[in-house]
Chains A and B, each alone.
Chain A
Amino acid sequence: MKLQALGALINVELKKLIRHPVNLFMNLLFPALLTIVFMFTFSDPELGMSINSVVPGLVVYAVIFLIMTVAQSFSSERKLLKRLKTTPMTSTEFIGSQIISNMITAIVQVVIVLVLAYLLGFKPESGFEGILLALPVTAIFALSSVGLGLITATISKNPEMGVGLSFLFILPQMFLGTFMPLTSSTQEIAKFVPSHYLFDALKSIFEGNWMNTNFFFDLVIISAVSVLIVIIGIVLFEKYGNT
């Protein structure tokens, strides 16, 4: 793997994040907007939701929407991907750049959500240490969003279809894997939703309660599932998606 090529590709991806209006909105402005709206609307103890349970959910929301941007981006840039394939760039360099740039995006999203939430009254019991720990945990989870985005792009014929189909993966994670109230049966289904474990892990972190087996169990599940999903995504996209 050549660092020069990898660095150049990451640079392009990060420029896309800033310069592409859809990416800028979905990845940076949307999490900010969501944080403001949710903090005002739902962080009411009478609704059974405290600020401390809303904030981990907002982080999860921001990161799962990466599925949509990855799917949209891969389905709309097929011509470019084809062209890149005629250069000495390797698949490892290309996929590596996607993973790293999306992990960076996820970290920026966590920072945006936490800074805004803090300004609106969120005071994590864990202090600054917890916030630092939330960054790598969320970045690892971002791998699963890249993988699901690649799977979506593989089955999408165009960017519009990519955006639409991405909700197949976004909605279950939004409703089953965050702070939405669940029935006993949906709680069982939620155990198969990756975001459920990120939400749980972030909750433990912000409550200053991460030195226990539950947190480590969540971390192991997040890491294993994310790596597995991204591998499946890469294999499927390489085989069927890049045509």
Chain B
Amino acid sequence: MTCLTSDVNNLLKGLNRKELLEIADLKNINIPNNWSKQLIMQLLSLNITLDDIPTNKTKPVKTKKISDGAPIIVIKDLVKKFDDITAVNNLNLEIGEGELFSLLGPNGAGKTTTVNILTGIIQPTKGNAIIAGFDVTKNSSDVKKLIGVCPQEAAVFSFLNARENIELFGNLHSLSKKEIKERTERFLELLDLADASGRKAGSYSGGMLRKLNLIMALINDPKIAFLDEPTVGMDARARRKTWEFIGSLKGEKKTIILTTHYIEEAEALSDRVGIIDYGKLIEVGTPQELMEKYEAKNLEQVFLNITGRRILEGI
């Protein structure tokens, strides 16, 4: 019985509010208008069985590409389990070349785990992902030559200055001295870090560390950049500056996968957004498409409608 209820719960988690209301309607269950998705799920899980969920609703979200070319990232049936917790649950997604794709979701939704699998930090439990034709588990060394990763927590050597940190990553990517020097100067200027570049990173503020974190991810001029919450901890001015910088990368035909807690960041920068919760991709589309679909004024309303909880919950 417990197992069946948990199966019902798992299937319900993959549905949006509208689909949950449809099921409630079919079963003649009255749902007050102001109920969150979470509450509706709880009530339904007590009153329905697996057979009451239409099979067409349980399929993974179909994804649309907006770029003309072939997808550069293909994620297929991706699952990652940590003991009893399913962090990524049957994720299917395609991202086109040159696209800026934002992955939104509350804390613990599975965003960072997904990025960690795609960047070769951890192995998936099931399923696979192909990046630029390379399987992330079997050809991770080929994948690593093409990507740049800006991790969620600033990971820099505190006893090195900004230039030395950036140079190290340039050398690990086998760039020439000239390339390292030119790109370092350009990025330091663009992100207002040039004046502090000779100081040890250990003396930097949180915002400065974030900027350095970002430059280190982009020094190899990656074809695909994974930016995991790149602007967390930045003040409003620095955040705007960084958005401009990330926006400028779109012009260089880079594919960018951005995870963020700032919905306005996703709305301003993204070609498409994917909303993920409980490890499942719940919705995907352009910000405009999603706002129209959910009759929302902005992406935040869409997000609240879908997940029934605030994106900043738990921070």
Contact = CB atoms under 8 A, between A and B. Distances in A.
Contacts of A4: 171, 174
Interface in A84-119: 84-90
Interface stretch (B18-26, B94-102, B147-155, B284-292): B147-155
A239 interface: no
B173 interface: yes
Contacts of B141: 88, 90
A85 B121 contact: yes
B172 interface: yes
| Top 8 closest pairs, chain A to chain B, by CB | A8-B171, A86-B149, A19-B159, A83-B155, A87-B172, A79-B155, A86-B119, A89-B172
B157 A12 contact: yes
B271 interface: no
Contacts of A19: 159-160, 200
Contact of B155 (A11, A80, A90): A80
Contacts of A83: 149, 151, 155
Interface in B100-150: 119-121, 141, 144-145, 147, 149
Nearest to A20: B159
A165 B164 CA distance: 32
B169 interface: yes
Interface of A: 2, 4-5, 7-9, 11-12, 15-16, 19-20, 79-80, 82-90
A86 B168 contact: no
Contacts of B200: 19
A215 to B, nearest CB: 40
25 contacts: A2-B174, A5-B172, A8-B168, A12-B160, A12-B164, A12-B168, A15-B159, A19-B160, A79-B151, A79-B155, A80-B155, A80-B156, A80-B157, A82-B121, A82-B151, A82-B155, A83-B151, A85-B121, A86-B119, A86-B121, A86-B144, A86-B147, A86-B151, A87-B144, A88-B172
Contacts of B155: 79-80, 82-83
Contacts of B144: 86-88
A225 B145 CA distance: 37
Contact of B172 (A8, A16, A20, A79): A8
Interface of B: 119-121, 141, 144-145, 147, 149, 151, 153, 155-157, 159-160, 164, 167-169, 171-174, 200, 220
Given A79-B153, A85-B121, A86-B120, A15 B164 contact: yes
A90 B174 CA distance: 12
A21 B32 CA distance: 63
B228 to A, nearest CB: 11
Q: Which of A2, A9, A79, A83 has the most CB of B within 10 A?
A: A83
Nearest to A78: B155
Contacts of B172: 5, 8-9, 84, 87-89
A4 B200 CA distance: 23
A111 to B, nearest CB: 23
Contact of B145 (A5, A16, A88): A88
A225 to B, nearest CB: 32
B159 A88 contact: no
Contacts of B149: 83, 86
Contacts of B157: 12, 16, 80
A89 to B, nearest CB: 5
A89 B168 CA distance: 11
Contacts of A90: 141
Nearest to B226: A86
Nearest to B165: A12
Contact of A85 (B120, B153, B168, B171): B120
A20 B169 CA distance: 20
A4 B174 CA distance: 7
Q: Which of A11, A16, A82 has the most CB of B within 10 A?
A: A82
Contacts of B174: 2, 4-5, 88
